[in-house]
Chains A and B, each alone.
Chain A
Amino acid sequence: MELTGAEILVRCLKDEGVEYVFGYPGGAVLHIYDALYRQEEVKHILVRHEQGATHAADGYARSTGRPGVVLVTSGPGATNAITGIATAHMDSIPMVVITGQVKTTAIGSDAFQEVDSVGITRPCVKHNFLVKDVKDLATTIKKAFYLATTGRPGPVVVDVPKDVTAQRTEYSYPQEVSIRSYNPVLKGHPGQIRKAVDLMLTAKKPMLYTGGGVILSGAQDALTEMTRMLGFPITQTLMGLGAYPATDPQSLGMLGMHGTYEANMAMHHCDVLVAIGARFDDRVVGEVKYFCPEAQIIHIDIDPSSISKSVKVHVPIVGDVNHVVKDMIRLIKEDKRRPDPVAPMQRLTQWWDQINAWRSVNCLKYDRNSALIKPQYVLETLYRLTEGEAYVTSDVGQHQMWAAQFYKFDKPLRWINSGGLGTMGFGLPAAMGVQLAHPDATVACVTGEASIQMCIQELSTCRQYGLPIKVINLNNRYMGMVRQWQEFFYEGRYAMSYMDALPDFVKLAESYGHVGMCIEKPADVEPALREALKLKDRLVFMDFITDQTENVYPMIAQGKGHHEMHLSPDRELA
């Protein structure tokens, strides 16, 4: 039977196993909306702004490992989606974005709601397509999902002109596609893996530095097995949190600009560094010339262009983390130099003594007797009350760093934040995607009074679909992260970082049909959180009025090395 392009598109989504499409209608996609209306399998979530659709699909993807799907109209629909596409691109998140386009005969004529979507999105997608013939539609959609989810994942845009959605053709969804120019390597080179294992087994001060690639690869079990077998210390990037249990004694927490003292010091002093699915971002590396001065560096990454991009590595291994780490485990097991299975850390006693000395500095210490609510305390309490089991999304700023420091993630796919692009406005819509994917889970959105206002309209979407997200607004009346830099580097000239004319968040939440709470005293933090977590079927917007002057520590200033951390104003290290 012949179907219209619109029907084919929807059938493709269904055959691809898509549960939710996040979108917003408009002229160019009306045939597609009509086709969606006439079926039930693929559910459509109507957001309030296309940016919200992209972040929601992104949150869905980050918390499930399955691709997020977005549908927006041409012109402004497509341009509104750009921020979310770029956000997913920077963090390598699988996503398929279908943009409507003016009819093929009108393309290039400055038609109503025409933008060159393929051109505009080109620099921030893994790949994109313009479908000019309905006969190519199903194959193109298949290719889009294939590209988005394999190799180094990323967003793929498919631009579909309106007339293509009206044309008819036979439908069949390809079981498989291959693209001759695209063949991601999964298995690592055996010689390189052997070389790496040799270095690892003879290291005196080894260090594992792991990132988002472990989570994208689904390699948490293999990584955990290898780390325990080796008895090595392990640190994770902001994107890698959860791939190894944060509460495990071998975990040193996050590294980098706002990482822990012990993680950064261990980086600086290690003799063998094993980087796994991490991309040597400048927030992690700091000043390149001071980076790991004594280390032989091994780097496992599926994307050759991530290797030796900013830091030259000695043993590059191109491949999928899960494959390579499993191969490493096999080699380690066969090796005479394998650490004692009962006490693997013993061989490295001196190194661990040194690390524990750094640890004893207790770098995340904060004032627990303050009369003002400390943001760290709110997050520590959230962690305790949810027993580390919540899904936590975050916006961008100080609150994001505190969430990363104080919520200990023992499992992957639970920490959902915009690391690479640092997109304010990400947290709330991302939480919608997470909550839809995990209807019974506790989903907390940690945000700030500035960030939350960038996608606040999504409170309406949450109401429509009954999403019981817990919004933790750490309200310091400042763009705190900006204020912190102005305090440190601009002699306290707080240009435009004070958040004036804030709304009454309680009333605002209530007007959207949610529960609002304002918490002003430290003693009220725990009871309020308890009460909110009990409201299982309601969105609760918790406005915590926090200490305005609190800064994120520790910190490595720009241009400094890992050994030059700044602990806090009253605690400097020798």
Chain B
Amino acid sequence: MRHIISILLENEAGALSRVAGLFSARGYNIESLTVAATEDPSLSRMTLVTRGSEEVVEQITKQLNKLVDVVKLLDLTEGPHIEREMMLIKLRATGEAREELKRLVDIFRAHIIDVTASTYIVELTGAGSKLDAFIQAVEANSIVETVRSGVSGIARGEKSLHL
């Protein structure tokens, strides 16, 4: 099962490597990991996507909680939540393809944020599957490069992860 774990972490040197080190040392997999400071500069918020059986994910959350730098965590997949990822994708855009790509961008509610005579850069936000779908939809050899942010997640409604 895929799990999205949200973590409040001390914003200190080395905290990120403790989390990353835990995953490699114990052989857990990381599908994606994002981290940045929060409105409280002493805390970072991390969203970590992993896969494993219930037993493995239980161990992952316990081991994460055991790290002294981990202040609090929440397995978002246990309740209703929103998951978003951002992608920047540079596409070869010449001739007829320019119009074609614009239509596709509209369908996906994406934005073209940079234009040159031969390229577009498209910005697209959504669940990971939407980003995958966009990549599927454009012609494979028109993709120059892609960069994805990794998943950020938040619980819906009253439930929240804060101090």
**Which residues of A are at the interface with B, using a C-beta cutoff of 8 A?**
118-119, 122-123, 126-127, 130, 147, 179-182, 303-305, 307-309, 312
Tell me if B21 is interfacial: C-beta within 8 Å of chain A: yes
Decide: B13 and A308 in contact? CB cutoff 8 A: no
Q: Interface majority SS on A: helix, strand, loop or mixed?
A: mixed
Given A126-B68, A147-B68, A309-B59, 7 extra CB contacts under 8 A: A123-B21, A123-B25, A180-B71, A182-B68, A307-B62, A308-B58, A312-B55
Q: Which of B107-163 contact A (CB under 8 A)?
A: 163
Decide: A181 and B69 in contact? CB cutoff 8 A: yes
Cα–Cα, bound, A309→B56 (Å)? 9
Which residues of chain A have C-beta atoms less than 8 A from B62's C-beta?
Answer: 304-305, 307
Decide: B21 and A179 in contact? CB cutoff 8 A: no
Q: How far apart are B133's CB and chain A's nearest CB, in angstroms?
A: 38
Which residues of chain B have C-beta atoms less than 8 A from A123's C-beta?
Answer: 21, 25
Which residues of chain B have C-beta atoms less than 8 A from A309's C-beta?
Answer: 59
Decide: A305 and B18 in contact? CB cutoff 8 A: no
If the complex has contacts A304-B62, A308-B58, A309-B59, are A122 and B68 also in contact, measured as CB distance less than 8 A?
A: no
Decide: A181 and B66 in contact? CB cutoff 8 A: no
Cα–Cα, bound, A312→B59 (Å)? 12
Decide: A122 and B69 in contact? CB cutoff 8 A: no
Cα–Cα, bound, A312→B56 (Å)? 12
The chain B residue with its CB closest to the CB of A309 is: B59
Tell me if B76 is interfacial: C-beta within 8 Å of chain A: no
Cα–Cα, bound, A126→B69 (Å)? 11
Decide: A119 and B17 in contact? CB cutoff 8 A: yes
Please list 25 pairs of residues, one from A and one from B, whose beta carbons are closer than 8 Å in the complex, sorted by A's number: A118-B14, A119-B17, A122-B14, A122-B17, A122-B18, A122-B21, A123-B25, A126-B68, A130-B13, A130-B14, A179-B68, A180-B71, A180-B163, A181-B68, A181-B69, A181-B71, A181-B72, A303-B66, A304-B66, A305-B59, A307-B62, A308-B55, A308-B58, A309-B59, A312-B55
Decide: A305 and B63 in contact? CB cutoff 8 A: yes
Cα–Cα, bound, A123→B25 (Å)? 8
Cα–Cα, bound, A52→B44 (Å)? 39
Number of A-B residue pairs at CB separation under 8 A: 37
Q: How far apart are B161's CB and chain A's nearest CB, in angstroms?
A: 13
Q: How far apart are B70's CB and chain A's nearest CB, in angstroms?
A: 6
Which residues of chain A have C-beta atoms less than 8 A from B10's C-beta?
Answer: 181
Which residues of chain A have C-beta atoms less than 8 A from B63's C-beta?
Answer: 305
Q: How far apart are A130's CB and chain B's nearest CB, in angstroms?
A: 7
Q: How far apart are A139's CB and chain B's nearest CB, in angstroms?
A: 14
Q: Which of B17, B65, B69 contacts A304 (CB 8 A)?
A: B65
Cα–Cα, bound, A118→B69 (Å)? 14
The chain A residue with its CB closest to the CB of B18 is: A122
Interface string of B68-104 (1 = CB under 8 A from A): 1111100000000000000000000000000000000
Which residues of chain A have C-beta atoms less than 8 A from B13's C-beta?
Answer: 130
Cα–Cα, bound, A304→B70 (Å)? 15
Cα–Cα, bound, A180→B10 (Å)? 10
If the complex has contacts A119-B17, A122-B17, A122-B18, are A305 and B66 also in contact, measured as CB distance less than 8 A?
A: yes
Which residues of chain B have C-beta atoms less than 8 A from A304's C-beta?
Answer: 62, 65-66
Cα–Cα, bound, A130→B72 (Å)? 23
Q: Which of A130, A304, A312 has the most CB of B within 10 A?
A: A304
**Minimum-distance CB pairs A-B, first 4:** A305-B62, A181-B71, A127-B68, A304-B62
Cα–Cα, bound, A304→B73 (Å)? 15
Cα–Cα, bound, A170→B94 (Å)? 69
Q: How far apart are A1's CB and chain B's nearest CB, in angstroms?
A: 31
**Which residues of B are at the interface with A, using a C-beta cutoff of 8 A?**
10, 13-14, 17-18, 21, 25, 55, 58-59, 62-63, 65-66, 68-72, 163
Decide: A181 and B18 in contact? CB cutoff 8 A: no
Cα–Cα, bound, A147→B25 (Å)? 22
Q: How far apart are A151's CB and chain B's nearest CB, in angstroms?
A: 9
Cα–Cα, bound, A118→B65 (Å)? 20
Which residues of chain B have C-beta atoms less than 8 A from A130's C-beta?
Answer: 13-14
The chain B residue with its CB closest to the CB of A129 is: B14
Which residues of chain A have C-beta atoms less than 8 A from B71's C-beta?
Answer: 180-181
Q: How far apart are B19's CB and chain A's nearest CB, in angstroms?
A: 11
Q: How far apart are B117's CB and chain A's nearest CB, in angstroms?
A: 44
Cα–Cα, bound, A307→B68 (Å)? 19
Which residues of chain B have C-beta atoms less than 8 A from A181's C-beta?
Answer: 10, 68-72
The chain A residue with its CB closest to the CB of B24 is: A123
The chain A residue with its CB closest to the CB of B25 is: A123
Which residues of chain B have C-beta atoms less than 8 A from A179's C-beta?
Answer: 68
Q: Which of A130, A181, A303, A304 has the most CB of B within 10 A?
A: A181
Cα–Cα, bound, A110→B69 (Å)? 27
Q: How far apart are B65's CB and chain A's nearest CB, in angstroms?
A: 7
Q: How far apart are B111's CB and chain A's nearest CB, in angstroms?
A: 39
Cα–Cα, bound, A303→B59 (Å)? 12
Which residues of chain B have C-beta atoms less than 8 A from A127's C-beta?
Answer: 68
Q: How far apart are B52's CB and chain A's nearest CB, in angstroms?
A: 14
Q: How far apart are B121's CB and chain A's nearest CB, in angstroms?
A: 35
Which residues of chain A have C-beta atoms less than 8 A from B72's C-beta?
Answer: 181
Cα–Cα, bound, A110→B55 (Å)? 42
Cα–Cα, bound, A179→B68 (Å)? 8
Q: How far apart are B25's CB and chain A's nearest CB, in angstroms?
A: 5
Cα–Cα, bound, A182→B71 (Å)? 8
Cα–Cα, bound, A130→B25 (Å)? 22
Q: Which of B21, B62, B70 has the most CB of A within 10 A?
A: B62
Which residues of chain A have C-beta atoms less than 8 A from B58's C-beta?
Answer: 308
Cα–Cα, bound, A571→B48 (Å)? 55
Cα–Cα, bound, A180→B72 (Å)? 10
Cα–Cα, bound, A127→B14 (Å)? 11
The chain B residue with its CB closest to the CB of A143 is: B68
Cα–Cα, bound, A308→B163 (Å)? 28
Which residues of chain A have C-beta atoms less than 8 A from B25's C-beta?
Answer: 123
Which residues of chain B have C-beta atoms less than 8 A from A312's C-beta?
Answer: 55
Cα–Cα, bound, A520→B72 (Å)? 62
Cα–Cα, bound, A302→B12 (Å)? 26
Which residues of chain B have C-beta atoms less than 8 A from A307's C-beta?
Answer: 62
Q: How far apart are B124's CB and chain A's nearest CB, in angstroms?
A: 36
Q: How far apart are B63's CB and chain A's nearest CB, in angstroms?
A: 5
Cα–Cα, bound, A481→B59 (Å)? 33
The chain B residue with its CB closest to the CB of A124 is: B25
Q: How far apart are A551's CB and chain B's nearest CB, in angstroms?
A: 34
Cα–Cα, bound, A181→B68 (Å)? 6
The chain B residue with its CB closest to the CB of A312 is: B55
Cα–Cα, bound, A189→B66 (Å)? 19
Cα–Cα, bound, A233→B151 (Å)? 52
